[in-house]
Amino acid sequence: MVSLPKKIEITEVGPRDGLQNEAGLIPTELKIQYINALLAAGVRKMEVTSFVSPRAIPQLADGEEVFKKITKPKDAWLFALVPNLKGLERALAAGVQDIAVFTAASETFNKKNINLGVKESLEVIRQVVREAKGKVRKVRGYISTAWVCPYEGNIQPKKVLPLIETLLDLGIEEISLGETIGAAAPLEIQKLLEQALKVTTVDHLALHFHDTRGTALANVWAALEMGFYKFDASSGGLGGCPYARGAAGNLATEDLLYALHRMGMITGIDLEKLSQASLLMGRALRKTLPSRYLSTVGK
């Protein structure tokens, strides 16, 4: 029997990654209510919004207002996604203390997603991190398509490892590896993670799995067995990758919590309260959210 981590850190990405792909504009007040409900459920790491161009993502154009009005527990890390110096400026002006930056292991995905090659995106991250120094508490780094790219197919670990090293060198403490399209299975997950442990430790890596084909919790289990204890998830399973149409996207926080709690692991999050936060958003969106667990709870 393997030795499993006892305490799990979950980063809730529903308010940003989840809502970003919603077509209809969601009222700012509802977002605030939703985020506050997530915090009240015990979430202490959360991606709350993004300071990307409002023209690129109108859904998150209200980032300043959202950030200003949400409750801010002292022990909570409330990340805002910052794509560049302009975004950083807006984030800092709104009082943001924790930022997230992003790149992808796939050149094509990076170009289609943020219109920058991998190298260029690393240069932007370098600028942001340098400028943010002393002005923010924590920087989180995302590496999307760390296993599979919708354009390039399988991504080899040798493409991912140098990115991890570069982000670590920049002083980024936590790197979230994204299995962006929900295509990889446990063996692949473990293959990259074994390599990654040669350049860093489990303390510096979070895992961001998608449940497009039902593999997310299997991948979580495969990572837990290796000692990984940081996972991203989206309340209700909100959002996901627009390149996997009609399919579930992000691993639902409820499904993750259910399995972890069932195994006696500690997350600090109240599953029932979090489910209610998801249902609140689900009702507003008039959607049945994809979380499996949530479907056992009601509407």
d(CA 120, CA 47) in angstroms, rounded, equals 24
Of the candidates 161, 168, 247, 284, which one interacts with a copy of itself according to CB under 8 A? 247
Helix, strand or coil, per DSSP, at residue 122: helix
Whether 149 is catalytic is no
d(CA 115, CA 19) in angstroms, rounded, equals 21
Residues whose CB falls within 8 Å of the CB of residue 255, separated by 6 or more in sequence, listed in order:
211, 216, 217, 233, 237, 291, 292, 293
**Nearer Cβ to a copy of itself, position 76 or 184?**
184
Please report how close the Cβ of residue 299 comes to a copy of itself at its closest, in angstroms: 9
Residues whose CB falls within 8 Å of the CB of residue 280, separated by 6 or more in sequence, listed in order:
33, 34, 37
Helix, strand or coil, per DSSP, at residue 135: coil
Q: Is position 221 an interface residue for a copy of itself (rule: CB under 8 A)?
A: yes
**Nearer Cβ to a copy of itself, position 32 or 148?**
148
Q: Is position 156 an interface residue for a copy of itself (rule: CB under 8 A)?
A: no
Please report how close the Cβ of residue 161 comes to a copy of itself at its closest, in angstroms: 18
189: burial class by Cβ within 10 Å (0-12, 13-18, 19+)?
Answer: buried
Of the candidates 252, 274, 277, 289, which one interacts with a copy of itself according to CB under 8 A? 252
d(CA 81, CA 50) in angstroms, rounded, equals 4
Please report how close the Cβ of residue 261 comes to a copy of itself at its closest, in angstroms: 9
Q: Is position 276 an interface residue for a copy of itself (rule: CB under 8 A)?
A: no
Of the candidates 95, 214, 266, 272, which one interacts with a copy of itself according to CB under 8 A? 214
Please report how close the Cβ of residue 138 comes to a copy of itself at its closest, in angstroms: 30
Q: Is position 220 an interface residue for a copy of itself (rule: CB under 8 A)?
A: yes
**Nearer Cβ to a copy of itself, position 17 or 255?**
255
Judged by CB under 8 A, how many residues of this single chain contact a copy of itself? 40
Pair 244, 182: CB distance under 8 Å:
yes
Of the candidates 258, 275, 279, 289, which one interacts with a copy of itself according to CB under 8 A? 258
Query: How far apart, in Å, do the first and last CA atoms of the chain sit?
Result: 39
Residue 152: count other Cβ atoms within 10 Å of its Cβ.
15
Of the candidates 186, 204, 270, 285, which one interacts with a copy of itself according to CB under 8 A? 186
Pair 70, 38: CB distance under 8 Å:
no
Q: Is position 190 an interface residue for a copy of itself (rule: CB under 8 A)?
A: yes
| Residues engaged in binding a copy of itself (CB under 8 A) | 1, 4, 183-188, 190, 194, 211-218, 220-222, 244-248, 252, 255, 258-260, 262-264, 291-293, 295-296, 298
Active site residue ranges: 241
